[in-house]
Chains A and B, each alone.
Chain A
Amino acid sequence: MKKTRFNELHKRLGGKMIEFVGWEMPVEYSGIIPEHMAVRTKAGLFDVSHMGEVLVTGKDALAYVQWLTPNDAAKLAPGQVQYTALMTPESTFVDDMLVYCIGPEEYFLVVNAANDDKDFAWIAGHTKGFAVKVEHQSDAYSQLALQGPLAEAILQPLTMIDLAGLKSFHWARGKVAGKACLVSRTGYTGEDGFEIYTTDPDPGIIWTKLIETGGPRGLLPIGLGARDTLRLESKLMLYGNDISDKTTVLEADLKWIVKLQKGDFLGKPVIEKQLAGGLTKRLVGFEMIEPGIARPHYPVFYKGQKVAEVASGTFSPLLKKSIGLVYLPIEGTVVGTEFEIEIRGKRIKARVVPTPFYKRPGKK
């Protein structure tokens, strides 16, 4: 198994280590529920070094990113970040990702750990006709995520970057705990927070200092278990569960990342066709209305027929109920629609609800 540069620190803190897409990662330290609630009410620190990084540079860097993605990367000034996706010609997903505009000829792409090699091969494999260089940088980078209402207060003493001035989906360079970093106001929890990237070969001090500074204020180290419950409450996508090469960007309810007027891109003709013809199914949020916990792959029944499997499903530590995401036939996507999920052979009632399931206070 691959190990991040913080591996020993997790073990020292009592992290329960598991294998995740070839990496030895902590699934929890003190427990999923306390970790989840710490992020929602105070702060949590995640090691997300397993994520993938690809740098695209050159004269046609912007044009190439525009071709590969549905969102409009031309809107990004250096210092800005955008959520988007790598699209297939069928408008399905190679992956979802973040695009950081470093400069007019330099774009930093951050992708899911599970798809790191696949995404690099895709990005490197479509360059014909574009004057670009594509570099796989995942091995060089370590990455931490500091998330929660106290994130800024905990990070500011450790960096000269003016965090109050760093807006959401923006990034800045600076030292954190003495190490050169790129810090963005981004995250996968629905809370305010930062993602901290560094190529320093010895970044442990960043983790240690954050734990030291934040611990007395309630900061906890957070494992992959709570990472999943947090992102699901905020209706953030998980590749393989909610989006895949079998789901189109419109079916995934991600129309907001599609900017047709920006020009041509992979998958655009299919998106236009789906907009004209209408969708046959769409991803919706649900909650269980009878006792039971819906989990990925459980069969889903609508009007008595099996129509899908649960895409994502868990018990929400904050809302204290079972929530999830599923692709339902389009007429069943109306909020309030009741359907059934088969749990250990019994059909248990669920209902379509608006998403996200949780929105942090003050967020527009």
Chain B
Amino acid sequence: MYPNDFRYTKDHEWIKVEGDEALVGITDFAQHQLGDIIFVELPAVGKELAARQSLGVVESVKSVSDVYAPVAGVVVAVNEELGTTADLLNKDPHGKGWIVRIKVKDKKALDGLLAAGDYEKLLEGLEH
């Protein structure tokens, strides 16, 4: 379920490193909690993000949720498709539903994030 080549945050974001850059999105657990996603507010390309800084907002009918940068970096691309097809986040949260691509400031910061197994354990803990 949760790809082994991703890293995860406690706030249910995932990050997939590709060289000096990384894709960022929200996890399947997060999309399920939010319900039908109808609107995504994306950051501007070029925006500098600190770790844990809000990079955008995901809205369902009843909720508004910030998406936080897992590590510091600069936004190099945003998923324009989410403008017209916000429910990609529900349908394919780990793939076509990626939110931003960032240039990672310091790859060592990724070591502080959760591996897939640890994230899955976190989710199990939440069920109780």
B-binding residues in A (CB < 8 A) = 27-28, 31-33, 225, 229, 291-293, 295, 314-315, 317, 344
Contacts and interface: CB of A to CB of B under 8 A. Distances in A.
Nearest to A34: B36
Contact of A292 (B36, B39, B62): B39
B35 A315 contact: no
A32 B39 contact: no
B61 A32 contact: yes
B39 A33 contact: no
Contacts of B83: 291
Interface in B85-105: none
Interface in B51-67: 57, 59-62, 64
- Overall SS of chain B's interface: strand
A-B residue pairs, 4 tightest by C-beta: A32-B61, A33-B36, A315-B38, A225-B62
A40 to B, nearest CB: 14
Interface of B: 35-36, 38-39, 41, 57, 59-62, 64, 83
A229 B61 contact: yes
A32 B62 contact: yes
A317 B37 CA distance: 11
10 contacts: A31-B36, A32-B35, A32-B36, A32-B62, A229-B61, A293-B38, A293-B59, A314-B61, A314-B62, A317-B61
Contacts of B41: 344
Nearest to B90: A31
Contact of B61 (A33, A291, A292, A344): A33
Contacts of A229: 61
Contacts of B35: 28, 31-33, 225
Contacts of B57: 344
Nearest to B40: A291
A225 B60 CA distance: 11
B61 A315 contact: yes
A27 B38 contact: no
A229 B61 CA distance: 8
Contact of A295 (B36, B38, B64): B64
